[in-house]
């Protein structure tokens, strides 16, 4: 009996081909566009996070207790060699680097601006992160009296590679320190802190200039992010035993709390988007299913009069709606996957809005993410929409008696 009911339901789909086709297109468009929206949003957040990790604090930051809050030059790590020894022996650490940071003032013949002066070991940084891509002019090498700046800062200062800048700061003994550097490279990292207001110089030169022997922080990348709590706990234990200073071991979730918030907000944004779009789809789907049921009331009445249970009639209506919804989901998923695949390889070029995007730490070319969860969420949304669209038509049909249904015109 089920076989015949499902067969009748399947054939009913082709009675009004244009009607079925319009519903399929409506669902497919909603599925593909929502999958693309979800992919581009998650890809954007992932890109922003990777850029920040790549040019910023890494997945773990190690600093003197209180430095994260104060950012004072005086709160520095006195014995970086002891910390480095521990990091080298830890098999869970994939890469690390160390930096000295201080507030300063950079000047050219055209402009002056407050900046963050960052002292690095360029060779060590190259092992920590790959700076070949961010360099848009010059190189990332830092020989004597050379500096690297962000492209936005270079525009403000009106300087190019080879030009001189003056870096001013306050040494550890509170004396004014100043030195002339020649620009060896201009970089674009999509990190506003670097691109807008950072001057990167050689670590040893910065230590000499500011009369300091240590570093401000160590930045780590780990081999397995899932083990981050255990790695932090192990490092804390070793530091308390082998390092005289009290150190903070800070995870990226605290440093980049904005990304954590964006990630949680993204889920709500996606669910609300699906709700709004599929509410509109459900209204259209409901109207079509109601018309489809009402124009066949006489047929249903005959089936009920012949002894067919209303449960089988309901199954047939549900099958019709589900089959249309599934075809729409399938078509939408294919198109959505192709769009996501293309954008994950070639990216979505938004160069026209590059200035605005870069100011928020976003790249002008956005790459999408692809996850199985996109398809699962889309299927659940289509299934719920299908159920909602047939509740009222089935309820109205149930209220009709067989004789009344047969006479229904």
Give residue 199's pLDDT band: very low, low, confident or very high (50, 70, 90): very high
The rounded distance, in Å, linking the Cα atoms of 147 and 183 is: 5
> Residue 9 in 3-state DSSP?
helix
pLDDT tens digits for range 253-290: 888 877 777 777 777 878 888 888 888 788 877 777 77
Residue carrying structure tokens 């869970």: 92
Q: Where is pLDDT greater, at 342 or 127? A: 342
Is 119 buried (19+), middle (13-18) or exposed (0-12) by CB count in 10 A? buried
**Region 224-247: what's the mean pLDDT?**
88
> Residue 409 in 3-state DSSP?
coil
Domain ranges of the chain: 2-53+258-406, 59-254
pLDDT of residue 147: 92
Give residue 408's pLDDT band: very low, low, confident or very high (50, 70, 90): low
Kindly state the helix (H) or strand (E) to which residue 11 belongs, with its residue range: helix 2-12
pLDDT tens digits for range 384-395: 888 888 888 877
Tell me what percent of the chain is helix, strand and coil, each rounded to the nearest 5: 60, 20, 20
The rounded distance, in Å, linking the Cα atoms of 254 and 57 is: 11
| Range with lowest mean pLDDT among 27-41, 59-73, 280-294, 343-357 | 343-357
Query: Tell me, what DSSP letter sits at residue 129?
Result: S
**Region 227-233: what's the mean pLDDT?**
89
Residue carrying structure tokens 């670097």: 194
pLDDT tens digits for range 110-153: 888 999 999 988 777 777 765 556 788 888 888 888 999 988 89
pLDDT above 90 as % of the chain:
11
- List the one residue out of 242, 87, 101, 263 whose CA is nearest residue 169: 101
The rounded distance, in Å, linking the Cα atoms of 382 and 370 is: 19
Is the Cβ–Cβ distance between 227 and 45 less than 8 Å?
no
The rounded distance, in Å, linking the Cα atoms of 115 and 147 is: 13
pLDDT of residue 183: 92
Which residues, at least 6 apart from 137, have a Cβ–Cβ distance to it below 8 Å? 160, 161, 185, 186
The token duo for 182 is 């020649």
The rounded distance, in Å, linking the Cα atoms of 24 and 385 is: 13
The token duo for 357 is 């995007």
Instruction: Please state the φ and ψ torsions of residue 295, each to the nearest 5 degrees.
Output: -75, -10
- List the one residue out of 334, 326, 332, 335 whose CA is nearest residue 386: 326
């Amino acid at each position: 009996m089920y076989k015949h009911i499902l067969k009748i339901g399947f054939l009913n789909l082709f009675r009004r081909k244009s009607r079925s086709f319009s519903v399929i297109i409506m669902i497919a468009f909603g599925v593909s566009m929502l999958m693309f929206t979800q992919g581009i949003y998650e890809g954007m957040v992932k890109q922003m996070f990777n850029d920040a990790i790549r040019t910023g604090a890494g997945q773990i930051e190690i600093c003197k207790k209180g430095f994260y809050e104060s950012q004072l030059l005086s709160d520095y790590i006195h014995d970086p060699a002891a910390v480095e020894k521990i990091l080298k022996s830890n098999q869970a650490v994939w890469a690390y680097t160390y930096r000295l940071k201080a507030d300063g003032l950079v000047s050219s013949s055209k402009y002056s601006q407050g900046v963050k002066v960052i002292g690095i070991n360029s060779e060590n940084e190259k092992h920590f992160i790959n700076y070949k891509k961010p360099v848009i002019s010059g190189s990332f090498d830092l020989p004597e009296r050379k500096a690297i700046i962000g492209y936005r800062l270079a525009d403000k200062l009106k300087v190019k590679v080879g030009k001189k800048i003056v870096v001013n700061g306050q040494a550890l003994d509170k004396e004014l320190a100043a030195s002339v550097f020649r620009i060896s490279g201009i970089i674009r990292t999509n990190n506003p802190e670097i691109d807008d207001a950072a001057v990167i110089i050689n670590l040893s030169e910065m230590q000499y200039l500011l009369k300091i022997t240590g570093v401000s922080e160590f930045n780590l990348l780990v081999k397995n992010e899932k083990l981050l709590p255990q790695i932090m706990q192990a490092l804390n234990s070793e530091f308390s035993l082998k390092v005289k200073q009290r150190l903070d071991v800070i995870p990226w979730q605290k440093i980049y709390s904005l990304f954590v918030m964006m990630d949680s907000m993204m889920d709500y944004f996606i669910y609300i988007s699906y709700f709004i779009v599929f509410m509109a789809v459900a209204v259209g789907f409901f109207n079509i299913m109601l018309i489809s049921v009402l124009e066949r009331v006489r047929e249903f009445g005959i089936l009920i009069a012949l002894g067919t249970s209303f449960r089988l009639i309901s199954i047939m209506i549900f099958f019709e709606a589900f089959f249309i919804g599934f075809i729409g989901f399938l078509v939408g998923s294919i198109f959505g996957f192709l769009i996501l695949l293309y954008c994950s390889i070639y990216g979505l070029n938004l160069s026209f809005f590059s200035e605005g995007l870069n100011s928020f730490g976003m790249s002008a070319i956005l790459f999408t993410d692809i996850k199985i969860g996109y398809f699962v969420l889309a299927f659940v949304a289509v299934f719920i929409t299908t159920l909602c669209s047939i509740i009222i038509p089935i309820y109205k049909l149930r209220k009709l008696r067989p004789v009344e249904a047969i006479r229904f015109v």
